[in-house]
């Protein structure tokens, strides 16, 4: 758990995730509007106030890259997939994944330590755990993608069992791979993404 806290306080890791998001944003812009197929995308980023990240993180880490179509009659927003954000969740994606992993075998003492480290309340941890164990296994995203993970993941210990399947000796490498796996869940405004994230 101390390893989780160290990573969540690593400013360089969050800057890396921001650079990965910048690359995804450029790719999205280059493909044009997915809704009308004719429009060009104009940058329309907005500032978020994500929780659970390191202190002293640069302000650009909280910027959500986004675009708007330039065509009259469309003008729809297109928000690229993200390594940092899971749709409208208020906590960073990395915090959600690691803290949900840490909830297995959760005790009041452990929950108190997690809250002190990240500011995530016991109520929120329980809600995340419930979503991971009860809701997530039934989503179209998981049903359509779980076959990519081999050997099969024990759904009774998600997302811990999933994180353990990703390659890399260091936790930061496995977490980055997990965040890449979850990319389709990170946006609800691009029809090219087929994820579903609620709860």
Residue 107 backbone dihedrals phi, psi, to 5 degrees: -120, 165
pLDDT tens across 18-59, in order?
999 999 999 999 999 999 988 999 999 999 999 999 988 999
With cut-offs at 50, 70 and 90, classify the pLDDT of residue 190.
low
Nearest-angstrom CA–CA distance, 121 and 130: 14
Query: What three-state secondary structure class fits 89?
Result: coil
When the pLDDT of each residue in the chain is averaged and rounded to a whole number, the result is: 88
* pLDDT (mean) for 144-150: 89
pLDDT tens across 92-144, in order?
999 999 999 887 766 677 777 777 777 888 889 889 989 999 999 999 999 99
Q: How many CB atoms lie within 10 A of CB 9?
A: 16
pLDDT at 88 over 90: no
Contacts of 165 (CB under 8 A, 6+ apart): 149, 150, 151, 153
pLDDT at 191 (0 to 100):
65
Contacts of 135 (CB under 8 A, 6+ apart): 198, 199
With cut-offs at 50, 70 and 90, classify the pLDDT of residue 198.
very low
Nearest-angstrom CA–CA distance, 154 and 163: 11
Residue with tokens 């452990």: 110
pLDDT at 157 (0 to 100):
92
Beta strands in the chain (DSSP E): 41-43, 46-47, 63-64, 67-69, 77-78
Q: Give the N- to C-terminal CA distance of the chain in Å, as an integer.
A: 24
Q: Which is nearest to 83 in space by CA: 168, 18, 155, 148?
A: 18
Q: Which is nearest to 195 in space by CA: 102, 73, 88, 110?
A: 88
Q: Which residues of 135-151 are buried (b: 16+ CB within 10 A; e: fewer)?
A: ebeebebbeebeeeeee
């Amino acid at each position: 758990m101390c390893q989780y806290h160290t990573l969540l306080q690593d400013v360089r890791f969050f800057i890396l995730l921001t650079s990965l998001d910048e690359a995804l944003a450029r790719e999205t812009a280059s493909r044009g509007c997915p809704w009308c197929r004719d429009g060009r995308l104009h940058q329309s980023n907005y500032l978020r106030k994500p929780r659970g990240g390191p202190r002293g993180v640069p302000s650009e880490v909280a910027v959500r890259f986004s675009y708007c179509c330039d065509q009259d009659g469309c003008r729809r927003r297109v928000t690229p997939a993200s390594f940092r954000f899971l749709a409208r969740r208020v906590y960073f994606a990395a915090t959600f994944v690691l803290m949900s992993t840490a909830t297995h075998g959760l005790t009041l003492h452990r929950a108190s330590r997690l809250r002190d480290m990240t500011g995530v309340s016991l109520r929120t941890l329980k809600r995340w755990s419930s979503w991971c164990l009860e809701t997530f296994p039934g989503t179209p995203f998981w049903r359509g993608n779980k076959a990519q993970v081999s050997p099969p993941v024990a759904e009774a210990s998600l997302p811990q069992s999933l994180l353990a399947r990703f390659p890399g000796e260091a936790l930061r490498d496995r977490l980055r791979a997990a965040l890449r796996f979850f990319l389709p869940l990170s946006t609800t405004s691009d029809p090219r993404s087929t994820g579903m994230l609620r709860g």
